Amino acid sequence: MADAPAEVVPYRYVFCDLLTDAYICDLTLDNVTYDRRIIEPGTFRASVEIANADIANQVARIVPRHPDILTTGPGRTVVHVYRGSQIWGTYLIWQAVVSQRGRDNVTVELQGAGLESYLAHVDIRADIGEITGVDQVQIARQLITHMQTDAYANIGLQLQSGASGVPRDLIVLAADGRSYGDRLVELARSENGFEWTIHTSVDPGTGVRTRHWVWGYPQLGSITSNHVFAQPGNVTSWQESIDALKAATKWQVRGDSVNSDITNVSSPLLSDIVPAQDYLDAGWPRTDGTHDYNKIGIKSVLDNYAAWWAANRAGAMRIHQASVRLPANTAFSPVNLGDYVRLVLTNDWWPIINGSPSFSKSWRVIGIAVTPPDRNKPQEECVLTFAEEMEP
């Protein structure tokens, strides 16, 4: 018996000002894809076919025809992706391409990234100074607060309270030439670090939107959840890729130069070499990985970074994905990134053994990519990316 078609999910694309969230317009978009990740900014892509003057005028409200129009455009406009009544992503539109081929209609292509990307485009241009023995999450909040003190960089992030219990030392100087996003990512991806992301919620009564910076230690998400994805059933496809070129069994990171004498040869400060000892003990060969952290001049900080890479990029990287069908009223959304879900597969690769599926594991979701329905494609597609680690 053929699977019943999935319920069509209503989508709405609401364009607003980045700083004020003031409404600009709604647009009907084609070829939309968007994704959400932990720590890293997700991506957004869409296109609009300009079939008539009314559509052209509507699109011109977010992609101005003339460079002297400063009230809107890429770099200051966000799109809120509404799936039903919920916001599944807020993306800053960074690029737009307007083109026409022959006698075809003009098309406008939009590209954007999650609000996390904005933090990577604001440099720290005033010293915060030396931070000693402060909880790593408090340091993160201090960085964001420092950025948002500038009215021109205040994107209205509400900061989750609490502490991780992990103190850190950090020196933050304008001369380092680092962005707030750089510092936040480096802080999180340290040994015994934490995870963070940005969500936008909407009040169902008033429609007011709020942007939240949220964190989890050591991880975001819930270990116990009732989400189950199974083949046959709501899993439509799956894949596992294994890539040893993206990992190593010994890691070292490079920091800032330790030589202040410009007349001598400069060399970077190096961390200790941190082995992925479990892999080496199991017979894996030595493969070396090196990562650069420019402007970091504290060896203990570099050692923490090296330990993170050894713990998270050892041996070979495995990326597991499953395409799933989600109902319109699904309880699983990008807010659940970090949750563990049950994935059950039954096929020739993972057969039934002793009456039970040989693949039935609780896996952590670290990414979600969605292709909404449009006039050319009636069904929504959703791909979940899983972390390598199993249930704790």
Q: pLDDT of 284-341, one tens digit each?
A: 999 999 988 877 778 888 898 899 889 888 888 888 999 999 998 898 999 999 999 9
| Domain extent listing, the chain | 11-114, 129-216, 228-243+317-390, 249-312
Which segments within 250-304 are labelled E, that is strand? 250-257, 268-270, 274-275, 288-292
Residue 193: both structure tokens together: 């670090």
Question: Cα–Cα distance between 93 and 110 in angstroms, integer?
Answer: 7
Bridge partners, 81 (sequence order): 13, 89
> Comparing 7-11, 61-65, 209-213, 388-392, which segment has the lowest mean pLDDT?
388-392
Model confidence band, residue 265 (pLDDT cutoffs 50, 70, 90): low
Helix (H) or strand (E) holding 108: strand 106-114
Q: For the residues 155-163, what does the mean pLDDT come to?
A: 98
Q: What is the pLDDT of residue 391?
A: 44
Model confidence band, residue 5 (pLDDT cutoffs 50, 70, 90): low
pTM: 0.87
What is the residue whose two structure tokens read 């879900």? 341
Model confidence band, residue 263 (pLDDT cutoffs 50, 70, 90): low
Residue 377: both structure tokens together: 């494609």
Q: What is the pLDDT of residue 1?
A: 38
Q: Show the DSSP H helices in the chain as ranges.
A: 53-59, 116-119, 136-148, 180-188, 277-281, 299-312
Q: What is the pLDDT of residue 387?
A: 85
Is the Cβ–Cβ distance between 198 and 214 less than 8 Å? Answer: yes
Q: Give the distance from CA 92 to its chain's centroid.
A: 13
Q: For the residues 4-16, what does the mean pLDDT come to?
A: 82
Residue 312: both structure tokens together: 């998270």
Q: What is the pLDDT of residues 46-59, one digit of tens each?
A: 999 999 999 999 99
Q: What is the mean pLDDT of the chain?
A: 91
